[in-house]
Amino acid sequence: MRRTYLVVVCFITALLVSCSSKQVRTTGEETNRAAEFLKFGNQFLQQGDYENAFRAFSVVYENYPTSAEYIDAVIGLSKCYGAFKDYDKQFELLYSLIRENMVPSRVPEIYLLIAEFYENSAGISEQLTGAGDKDYQTAIDYLKKAVAYENSNDTLSKAHAQFKIGHLYEKLGDFENAIAAYQDTINRFGGTVWAQEAEKQIQLIREKMRLQAQYEQLKSGNQGPESQMPAADTLRSVASPEDTSATP
């Protein structure tokens, strides 16, 4: 009896080990498949083939929610929804990542994408109603959250966010705050590509402001004798001798 019991125990133990080995093997296969689908999704996305990118990302999203590729698949899907102009779904996906806080290290990148959503929304509002300032300001608020987020060392995303703050202030015509934001990019994230871009933008804004100041000065009549030039309407109202002779 005892011998029979030992045989049964050994058999069950062997079966459990076998099942465990099979489970590990299956998990590895699933991970490889998730990585392959994600790779194809990113390739399609880079090519602008949003339909196929959407299909590839959806496979990971629906079937591999615990994989390391899941968050990248959600981000990829959000970009596809943005391309499809389904902005509500795009925001829903991105905000779900923030709400669940699955990978804190990726939070600045996700805040960047949410800010992009509001930037696009502002552009649409401008086209429809002529007003998009509120959405631009909301985008700036999310970008500031990206920069200030402490539980991530994603310096590149934070530098990009700081640069985008300057870019959006520039869109709003607030050149003073734009220059300040670009200067913060240089001071806080020196050595990054966004710090280099910020230097270029500061120069462009200052040149734009210089030209605008010169133009305003010209209009106000502060350019000496040249400022006494009559307006175009006045010139047209004074007929030349040739014009007089040609008048019936």
Percent of the chain with pLDDT over 70: 73
| Cut 0.75: pTM above it | no
Which residues fall within 8 angstroms of residue 109, CB to CB, at 6 or more apart? 75, 146, 154, 157
Tokens of 146: 């990206």
Angle, to 10 degrees, between the axis of helix 133-148 and the axis of helix 155-171?
160
For CATH 1.25.40.10, list the domain ranges present in the chain. Answer: 32-102, 111-221
Tokens of 32: 């490889």
Percent of the chain with pLDDT over 90: 62
Domain 32-102 maps to which CATH number in 1.20.140.10, 1.25.40.10, 3.30.2290.10, 3.40.50.10540? 1.25.40.10
**Structure confidence at residue 246 (pLDDT):** 41
Read off the pLDDT band of 22 (50, 70, 90): very low
* Three-state SS annotation for 208-243: HHHHHHHHHHHHCCCCHHHHHCCCHHHHHHCCCHHH
Average pLDDT (174-180) is: 97
Average pLDDT (43-60) is: 97
Mean of the per-residue pLDDT values of the chain? 81
Tell me the per-residue pLDDT of 102-127, one tens digit each, with 9 for 90 and over. 789 999 999 999 999 998 888 665 55
Best-predicted range by mean pLDDT (20-34, 88-102, 142-156): 142-156
- Buried residues in 15-44 as b, exposed as e (16+ CB within 10 A): eeeeeeeeeeeeeeeeeebbbebbebbbeb
CA 185 to chain centre: 16
**Structure confidence at residue 27 (pLDDT):** 59
**What whole-number distance in Å separates Cα of residue 34 and Cα of residue 63?**
8
Read off the pLDDT band of 224 (50, 70, 90): low
Alpha-carbon separation of residue 137 from 35, 122, 124, 173, 174 (angstroms)? 37, 9, 15, 12, 12
Tell me the per-residue pLDDT of 185-204, one tens digit each, with 9 for 90 and over. 999 999 999 999 999 999 99
Read off the pLDDT band of 91 (50, 70, 90): very high
Examine the pLDDT at 8 and tell me if it is beyond 70. Answer: no
Alpha helix ranges (H) inside the chain = 2-46, 50-63, 70-83, 87-100, 107-129, 133-148, 155-171, 175-188, 193-219, 232-237, 241-246
Average pLDDT (215-241) is: 58
**What whole-number distance in Å separates Cα of residue 153 and Cα of residue 99?**
20
**What whole-number distance in Å separates Cα of residue 183 and Cα of residue 11?**
71
**Structure confidence at residue 122 (pLDDT):** 81
**Structure confidence at residue 15 (pLDDT):** 35
Cβ atoms of residues 67 and 30 within 8 Å: yes
Read off the pLDDT band of 237 (50, 70, 90): very low
Note the CATH architecture for domain 111-221: Alpha Horseshoe (1.25)
